[in-house]
């Protein structure tokens, strides 16, 4: 049994790609997309007809609507291949606007439903700002399931659990990147690998906290840099993995056993915490890594959103 098949025995494997033509090879349960992945996909020649058709069909409509229709078009294609759910992201430029995020999430679901897709098969992806978490809380009350992304800090995870969101996506690789860059010449890779990887430790802390206190929000590790980060989180509820790393897992038959254990977490000595807006903002501010990576991530997705609009204008 290869490691990908072994991993599927105790973790739901999710494909992290907008390139739906790659999905068949790996048989993931779910798939996630984001503005950068969609932008990368639409620049491939294979997708030019789909892009052109969408633009021609809705030419003259507001650009934000055309973008949402393209995202849903990709999502529907993905859902025709996978058995589970697809995550579709709200425009990152709305990350600090609760009402606008709710409205955009509702519209995305309406567009999916117009294509015959049940809302249970879609997760609306929202940045884990305070405003985003509050928007997700409102969407969840309306029966719209959410995936809180760009999550780097423990306080973000706790606030998401309080909001009863469906799923969170803590970013393993980007946490690792920050600590490695910050350490500079003092970084020793062997000392920061597998269970000692700072990104892995962050997800393990969140997973154990959720299981200890019976929080139903699903934990999906994301943003991996190497196979070791994935295997060190085997047993997590879900892991969303790029096609390249899925291929690496499928190419090895090294033994793989769960690294995370829900039953053990229930017995661990973990303190319960909670956050209101003021304490959340202070905790996030006091975490330099999370503050920097959240801001950087939103900026990058905003840039790619603009690039996608420009590409559609030229189509």
Query: Does the annotation count 134 as an active-site position?
Result: no
Q: 29-50 b/e with 16+ CB inside 10 Å = b?
A: ebbbbbbbbbbebbeeeebeeb
Residues in the chain, overall count:
315
Distance between CA 256 and CA 253 in Å, rounded? 8
Domain with residues 3-314, CATH architecture: Alpha-Beta Barrel (3.20)
Which one from 21, 125, 164, 293 is the annotated catalytic residue?
125
Distance between CA 153 and CA 170 in Å, rounded? 8
What pLDDT is stored for residue 139 in this prediction? 98
Give yes or no for a contact between 63 and 307, defined as CB atoms under 8 angstroms apart. no
Given a cut of 70, the residues of the chain with pLDDT beneath it are: none
- The 3-class SS string of 119-147 reads HHHEEEEEECCHHHHHHHHHHHHCCCCEE
pTM for this prediction: 0.97
What pLDDT is stored for residue 172 in this prediction? 98
Residue with tokens 């600590």: 179
With H, G, I as helix, E, B as strand and everything else as coil, classify residue 212. Answer: helix
């Amino acid at each position: 049994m290869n490691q990908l098949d072994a991993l599927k025995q105790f973790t739901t494997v999710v494909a992290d790609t907008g390139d739906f033509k790659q999905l068949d090879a790996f048989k993931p349960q779910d798939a996630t997309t984001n503005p950068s992945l969609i932008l990368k996909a639409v620049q491939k020649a294979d997708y030019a007809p789909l892009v052109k058709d969408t633009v021609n069909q809705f030419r003259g409509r507001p650009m934000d609507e055309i973008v949402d229709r393209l995202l849903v078009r990709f999502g529907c294609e993905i859902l025709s291949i996978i058995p589970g759910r697809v995550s579709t992201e709200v425009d990152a430029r709305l990350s600090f606007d609760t009402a606008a995020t709710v409205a955009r999430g509702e519209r995305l679901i309406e567009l999916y439903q117009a294509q015959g897709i049940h809302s249970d098969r879609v997760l609306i992806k929202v940045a884990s700002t305070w405003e985003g978490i509050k928007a997700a809380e409102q969407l969840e009350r309306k029966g719209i399931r959410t995936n809180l992304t760009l999550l780097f800090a423990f306080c973000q995870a706790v606030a998401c659990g309080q909001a009863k969101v469906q799923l969170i996506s803590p970013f393993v690789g980007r946490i690792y990147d920050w600590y490695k860059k910050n350490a500079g010449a003092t970084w020793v890779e062997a000392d920061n690998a597998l269970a000692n990887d700072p990104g892995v430790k962050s997800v393990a802390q969140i997973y154990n906290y959720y299981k200890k206190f019976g929080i139903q929000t699903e934990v999906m590790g994301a943003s991996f840099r190497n196979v070791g980060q994935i295997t060190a989180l085997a047993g997590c509820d879900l892991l969303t993995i790029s096609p390249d790393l899925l291929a690496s897992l499928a190419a090895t038959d090294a033994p793989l056993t769960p690294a995370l254990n829900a039953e053990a977490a229930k017995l661990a000595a973990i303190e319960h915490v909670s956050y209101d807006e003021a304490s959340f903002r202070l905790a996030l501010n006091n975490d330099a890594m999370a503050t920097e990576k959240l801001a950087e991530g939103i900026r990058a997705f905003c840039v790619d959103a603009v690039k996608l609009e420009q590409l559609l204008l030229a189509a």
